Structure 1
Amino acid sequence: MLTVGGYTRVSDVGRLGDGRDGNEGLMRQREDVYDLAKLMRCNVHRMYEDNDTSAYKRRVKRNDFEAMVIDLERGLISGILAYNIDRIARQPRDLERLIDIYEQARRPMVFATTAGDYDLTTADGRFQARIHVTIANKFSADAARRVARQKRAEAIDGRPHKGQRAFGWMDSESLDEREAELLVIARRDIINGKKVATVHREWTELGIRGPQTPPGKTIGYTSVKYVLRNPRLCGYRAYIPQEVRERSGRVDPVEWLIERTDGTPVKGQWETIFTPDEWRELVDVLDARKNTGKGRKVGSTVTKRLLTGIARCGKCGAGLASGMYARGTTSYEKYGYYYYCRKADGGCGSLSRSGPAVEEYVEEALLGNLKDQARAVRSAAEEDLEPAEAKATLKQIDADKAEARRLRADDLFSLAEFAREMRRLEEKERETKENVSGLSVAPVRTGSAAARIVREWGNYTIDMKRAEIQKSIEAVVVKPVGKGGAQRGVFRPDLIEIIWK
């Protein structure tokens, strides 16, 4: 009596929409396999079962199918029984794996279904099996094409995706308040300079899990990047074809926005977390930090200290590096670290300064500058100045946007050309609005933003503080003390020069 493995499979339970979990289908197949085993006088070693698992999708791993293949190779089982061959394979490559094992086996083997037997050790048997799997593959491809067409039509209509919920929502339409709040905070902090890696670490410490996070795990770094870029956050509808997902895995959803003929994104029918402008600003910041292929990522810093690369030597002009004082020394106990001009970086190597005091001086100067900006903007707002030329410029920008949309609708603009033109006009619009106050020197930030930074400065991370410093300060020049000018333990602000932008 041959010992065989029984195989059962149900695919895509989530699409049924009737509350079934697939177990009923597995049970029916299981009964048929046991009846087949009695008829063929085989002993079933074990039942290999894959529930809610596709045999057609290339990137789907069928755990029990893989276990069955291994047991077949090792000789623990001498064949496979199933309800139908399409339960075992819908991709020719899966059948070919089994054929290789049957051809090389030097023992009696069986490959049978309730619809008929296939002798995979003979050319005729392999031919019949290949035909049936090819037909099953064609049926799956036709069904996938129909489903894809339906899903794209739903996307164009703005209807929400009915599959697994997105991070930030309880279902396809309603927000999850806790996750939505996490996203709002993450956006604000990233705009202010925080790294995605820092956000990921904070979420990990909070035990945050995503919809696709495996049991017992926390959300992954790539998942955090994905949810922050999801157009769904601001109500935009995206559609990523299934074949793209299967070929490339997780792709950037920003590149798959659904647009109307006039080039405007399709708005979905669900609650949103950000406005379109807020989401675009976040995506722009994340894009600015992507690796350029020339080493350090643009917009990011690989550093532990607040002023590394910002502080410069007053003697040779080189950027200062940071180092730790020797453990056990008085300087280590009092200051911990210092900035110094390093010869290896092309500097003179003859200047150093304790770090904390310099940083504290720069932080106080920056916060004072921000407070002045907040007061200046409030004063300008009270005067309500709005030059006529700014109004004219904004009016022309609106006209140019309308013309760009018309050209896109008439297919005279490619999607790439339209996107570049709209970005250029939006940037010009933003700059014009920032300058309509009529001040001779426009503040770097709005009054409310400057006030918020001052208020929240104590909660900023090092990378967030560095980002704010670099927006306002060109360099911090640390001047040499000179002969006889050193006073141990005394900080001299006159030897620190802040060069403002």
Structure 2
Amino acid sequence: MLYLRMSQDRTGEGAGLERQEEACRALALARGWEVVGVRQDTVSASTVKASQRPGWSQVLGLVEAGEVDVVLTWHLDRITRTMTDLEELILLAVDKGVGIATATGDIDLTTDSGRMVARILAAVARQEVERKAERQRLAAQQRAKAGRPQWSTRPFGYERDGSPREPEAAVVRKAYADVLDGRSLASVTADFNASGFTTTKAGQSRADGSTYSGEWDTPTVRHILLNPRNAGISAYRGEEVGPGSWEPLVPEQTYRAVVHVLTSPSRRKAGGFAADVNLLTGFATCGRCGAGVKAGWRGGRKGDDGAYLVYTCRRSGCVSHQADFVESLVLRRVVEALEEPSFWLRWLAPASEAGDPAALRAEEHGLHERLEALATDYADGLLSRSQMQAGTARLRERLEEVEREMGLLGRTDVLAGLRDTEYVWQELDAMPTDRLRAVVESVIESVRLLPRGRGRRKPSATQLDITLRATGSER
């Protein structure tokens, strides 16, 4: 049985599959062996275990069935480059009495001397892999610092040379604008799929032999939007190292603002970044125990005559109010706030106070370095525990301020189109839930559902506690 393997790294190192087969067939002819089959893989032995390669798995099956006496390959490193895989190969050879022959010299794994030679060859092969990986790592780091593109696959929105690829780039730009406009990541992902474009890995093979479908999901879209590449910023292993030489798809201010939105802890839902189906789930809270509220149908299922939606305390059902009643009061307070000129002064002021993005980024990097220095000094005994804690608190306070300012940079006004109070109700009524929710969260700090009291009391505005942002409580 011939076994051939070549990596997909396209480096040109080692023999090609055709040359491997020619050399192996020549050896088989010289030894008088009958070639019963050929199996091959085009994966890296450094990243994919031998047992996970389809071709080699077929070879193992034939060996187990007793249909193969000798496995012939070009070199031992075609089968394995790790000591773990080698030991499994040794056990197989000893158990089944199978010979391992190579075009570069036979290895008898059934003898102690043969196993010693194989282990030495595997150790050498592993050292070559690690040395190559180190060279590649240093080269990638140098390219990143020089601001040169270093993309193993073409990123969505870009050509390989770093120039924007339209209209993919337009889809990415729209996604940034939509996030800043208050839309959920789930709805942005739906737009990606509706655009007709697939991921750049569509059709490529996975390690398990399956292929990528190319369909977008929210983690993939989130990963794209959080990549500093789109703002023309070069990064290495997740850390920004300087400006890139390629054209940015969006301004740095826009990128920073989206990062601030997508990494906000308040966006986290159980199981990912899902869109809220109802306006106030995950935002309004129970006025008795402080738990969040959930939405559910009473009087039947959704769409049934007489069925209605209610918001209920998620923890123990402390409170329960009809959703239409709660949402109408909340939106009324939103409209009242938008009609106040003082609100617009408060809303527009923060963005104008944000500083220079380069200076903020430099300060953020410096604050992280000082935090690390504090930890090192404490570990070395140069600082007491109280000194380290006090210094850390001060630095983290300033770091939060810097991150807040970075989040304000380039902010798209979520309330755009709502300054004309004559049409504000019409605008709100036409908005999808995710956009409407962003408007509510921009205007209102909190919504607390209060108990109705004893007896069957009619819904009343006194049963809600609505707090506007930067204002007192209104009931």
Give the aligned partner of residue 272 of structure 1.
Answer: 248
CA positional deviation for 1:428: 7.2
Task: Give me the whole-angstrom Cα distance separating, in 1, the residues matched to 2:65 and 2:82.
Answer: 23
Tell me if structure 1 keeps the 8 A contact 2:184–2:275.
no
Tell me if structure 1 keeps the 8 A contact 2:186–2:275.
no
CA positional deviation for 1:173: 0.4
Q: Which amino acid aligns with 2:110?
A: T
CA positional deviation for 1:31: 1.4
Tell me if structure 2 keeps the 8 A contact 1:8–1:30.
yes
Q: Does 1:63 pair with 2:31?
A: no
Q: Does 1:471 pair with 2:411?
A: no
- Could you report, residue by residue, the CA deviation over 1:123-142 in whole angstroms, capped at 9, with x for unpaired residues? 11111222222222222222
Give the aligned partner of residue 188 of structure 2.
Answer: 199
Q: Which amino acid aligns with 1:469?
A: V
Give the aligned partner of residue 26 of structure 1.
Answer: 17
2:278 pairs with one of 283, 289, 305: 305
Change (3 A) 1:218 1:373: farther
Tell me if structure 1 keeps the 8 A contact 2:291–2:314.
no
Task: Give me the whole-angstrom Cα distance separating, in 2, the residues matched to 1:37 and 1:227.
Answer: 51
Structure 1 range deviating more: 463-472 or 78-87: 463-472
Q: Does 1:450 pair with 2:446?
A: no
Give the aligned partner of residue 54 of structure 1.
Answer: 44
CA positional deviation for 1:57: 3.1
Q: Percent same amino acid among aligned pairs? A: 26
1:205-284 to 2 correspondence within 5 Å?
206=195, 208-213=197-202, 214-240=211-237, 253=238, 256-258=239-241, 266-284=242-260
Which runs of 5 or more residues in structure 1 are unaligned?
A: 241-252, 259-265, 435-444
Tell me if structure 2 keeps the 8 A contact 1:99–1:126.
yes
Question: Once superposed, what is the RMSD of the aligned Cα atoms?
Answer: 4.9
Tell me if structure 2 keeps the 8 A contact 1:321–1:342.
yes
Task: Give me the whole-angstrom Cα distance separating, in 2, the residues matched to 1:433 and 1:211.
Answer: 30
Change (3 A) 1:419 1:322: same
CA positional deviation for 1:88: 2.2
2:108 pairs with one of 111, 119, 122: 119
Structure 1 range deviating more: 281-290 or 269-278: 281-290
- Aligned residue for 1:257, secondary structure, equals strand
Tell me if structure 1 keeps the 8 A contact 2:448–2:464.
yes
Q: Which amino acid aligns with 2:44?
A: S
Tell me if structure 1 keeps the 8 A contact 2:218–2:273.
no
Give the aligned partner of residue 144 of structure 1.
Answer: 133
Tell me if structure 1 keeps the 8 A contact 2:447–2:464.
no
Tell me if structure 2 keeps the 8 A contact 1:290–1:298.
no
- Aligned residue for 2:155, secondary structure, equals coil
Structure 1 range deviating more: 418-427 or 191-200: 418-427
Tell me if structure 2 keeps the 8 A contact 1:187–1:282.
yes
Give the aligned partner of residue 297 of structure 2.
Answer: 324
Q: Which amino acid aligns with 1:112?
A: A
Change (3 A) 1:423 1:281: farther
CA positional deviation for 1:414: 4.6
Give the aligned partner of residue 35 of structure 1.
Answer: 26
Change (3 A) 1:172 1:406: closer
Give the aligned partner of residue 378 of structure 2.
Answer: none
Q: Which amino acid aligns with 2:60?
A: V
TM-score, length of structure 1 as denominator length:
0.69
Task: Give me the whole-angstrom Cα distance separating, in 2, the residues matched to 1:257 and 1:299.
Answer: 25
- Aligned residue for 1:44, secondary structure, equals coil
2:3 pairs with one of 2, 7, 27: 7
Give the aligned partner of residue 334 of structure 2.
Answer: 366
Change (3 A) 1:189 1:433: closer
1:133 pairs with one of 122, 142, 147: 122
CA positional deviation for 1:235: 1.5
Tell me if structure 2 keeps the 8 A contact 1:189–1:464.
no
Tell me if structure 2 keeps the 8 A contact 1:12–1:54.
yes
Task: Give me the whole-angstrom Cα distance separating, in 2, the residues matched to 1:405 and 1:380.
Answer: 24
Change (3 A) 1:460 1:102: farther
- Could you report, residue by residue, the CA deviation over 1:318-345 in whole angstroms, capped at 9, with x for unpaired residues? 976533233499x9436x4232556963
Give the aligned partner of residue 389 of structure 2.
Answer: none
Q: Which amino acid aligns with 1:257?
A: E
Tell me if structure 2 keeps the 8 A contact 1:165–1:171.
yes
Change (3 A) 1:343 1:80: closer
Change (3 A) 1:280 1:328: closer
Tell me if structure 1 keeps the 8 A contact 2:71–2:100.
yes
CA positional deviation for 1:159: 0.8
CA positional deviation for 1:188: 3.2
Which runs of 5 or more residues in structure 2 are unaligned?
A: 203-210, 375-391, 419-423, 470-475
1:286 pairs with one of 257, 262, 273: 262
CA positional deviation for 1:160: 0.6
